Structure 1
């Protein structure tokens, strides 16, 4: 089996430069510090990604937006005679991914820094491309998925997880409402870079068709997001999120205290014996290269 050789210099499209800066700064360091929490939050959806990817023992897999590498490691275990390559913008997260892969004793993983939108993917180098909530942020999704399609062999498979629309994701809806403190907040669009960038099924189908993918399918996945072991644990986590800091930044002291009190109350209201759980909904998007 030939393992694709990564270039030595990471490339970033100018459309994604701001995001690259964030993920190589405070956002990336924060994610490393709380990697287990972030991975556990959406772990309920992980089995569907592996089922959709249909990884075989000898497959070469590219994991887009791999973060700390939980999905790359899962792919590597599913392809013991193959190889899993994780690509991400964030150097801190990639360092953590390498550390965790080594600690797990995996010898068939590689992690490279780069922007999958412009990364010089070797033509036909991969059998499967996967992404665990990492493909919604492309500045030019058609260009990005065209590049990824180029990296797949003919007939190669794509499987990714993305969030459905905000209204179907209680976890984020509740956070936004608590932190809005009575202010109107704009609805995130379903066709712009961000957490809901691949939430509109028609947009997803248009993008992937334009990129050269066929048999595009979106399967709805109801599930839960786990934000902590109990109310105080969850509050400690969500109160430090970038989203929380951003929404609190425009409030005066009184409004900020009230918003945090509401947030704490919401964590308590959703506490269960299995942890603090909120309703969530994702898409499992599958397709293959024509």
Structure 2
């Protein structure tokens, strides 16, 4: 398992380094889309002006940079396996004039922080991709102070997320994709009802809350949706990677046809649903 986990981590590091350019390009759109999830999570963390906060799997910096604005007398550490993604976050922090943010390239299963260091620890849209989620949870809880809130955001059920399933399902219909083994990293790995609450209880957390948050991915046109998804969604790019040009053209055509069902008020609106969970370290 260790060798397999190490291989997955290295693959993810390379992939996210490559996709950091797409996340930089589409930053404003990603901020608007993901804002409701980050806002719900930060409310659960109960931050105070002097809180020390750890964002695990921080990617391009959200909602960690928003958290930095809420803890002017505290500090936020953005930790991620991808130096490329943290480079985007660093640029954004500088542009906002934030001086209470640090950056750490590291593995979520081996966080380089002391025990009981942070007032809040969380992971937004990263946990389901970690090779060994229990190891990452142990590290997140270890780094949190007693009484600290530990939180996560993960994608909900596939049926509640046509923003992803529309294009991924179309790719699957045109290509014979390998069926992932149970428990392997994936977009909807943490979606089953009660899954996250059980994981948080098993990690030793108390006062666990779990809420569903829904919003819409809004794109101007099928072309806009296609460009956005192929430049920010690693699962989409990997699904298309081995398709020949003819297959890609057919997939694109089918996706465009399906998007017609989601056109409302002059835009494409695709439901996006996530689970926000948080617990307290005892």
TM over 0.5: yes
Residue 194 of structure 1: SS of its match in structure 2? coil
Q: Which moved more, 1:254-263 or 1:197-206?
A: 197-206
The separation in 1 between residues aligned to 2:175 and 2:191, in whole angstroms, is: 24
Aligned length: 276
SS in 2 for 1:122: coil
Greater fraction of residues in helix:
2
Matched position secondary structure for 1:68: coil
Structure-2 change in CA distance of 1:129 and 1:189 (3 Å):
farther
What is residue 139 of structure 2 aligned with on the other side? 147
* Other-structure match for 2:22: 30
Residue in 1 that maps onto 2:91: 99
Provide the aligned C-alpha RMSD in A: 2.5
On the 8 A contact 2:128/2:189 being kept in 1, the answer is yes
What displacement does 1:182 show? Answer: 5.0
Distance 2:69 2:241 in 1: 43
Counterpart among 50, 54, 65 of residue 58 in structure 1: 50
- With 273-282 and 139-148 compared, the bigger mean Cα shift is at 273-282
SS of the aligned residue for 1:220 comes to strand
Shift of 1:252: 4.8
Aligned partner of residue 129 in structure 2, secondary structure: coil
Tell me, yes or no, if the aligned pair for 2:56 and 2:122 is still in contact at 8 Å. yes
Q: Distance in 2 between matches of 1:146 and 1:211?
A: 6
* Aligned counterparts of 2:174 and 2:91: Cα–Cα separation in 1: 44
CA distance in 2, matches of 1:52, 1:251: 42
Cα contact 1:222–1:280 (8 A) shared by 2: yes
2:100 corresponds to: 108
SS of aligned partner of 1:262: helix
Mark the CA change 1:190 to 1:170 in structure 2 (over 3 Å): closer, same or farther: farther
Q: Which ranges of structure 1 fall in alignment gaps of 5 or more residues?
A: 1-12
TM-score, normalised via structure 1 length: 0.84
Q: Are 1:234 and 2:234 an aligned pair?
A: no
State the secondary structure of the residue aligned to 1:200: coil
Q: CA offset at residue 70 of structure 1?
A: 2.4
What is aligned with 1:88? 80
Q: With the length of structure 2 as denominator, give the TM-score of the two structures.
A: 0.86
Asked if residue 219 in structure 1 is aligned to residue 211 in structure 2, the reply is: yes
2:103 alignment partner, SS class = strand
Q: Closer, same or farther in 2 for the Cα pair 1:171/1:190, shift >3 Å? A: farther
Structure 2, unmatched stretches of 5+, are none
Identify the residue that residue 272 of structure 2 maps to in structure 1: 280
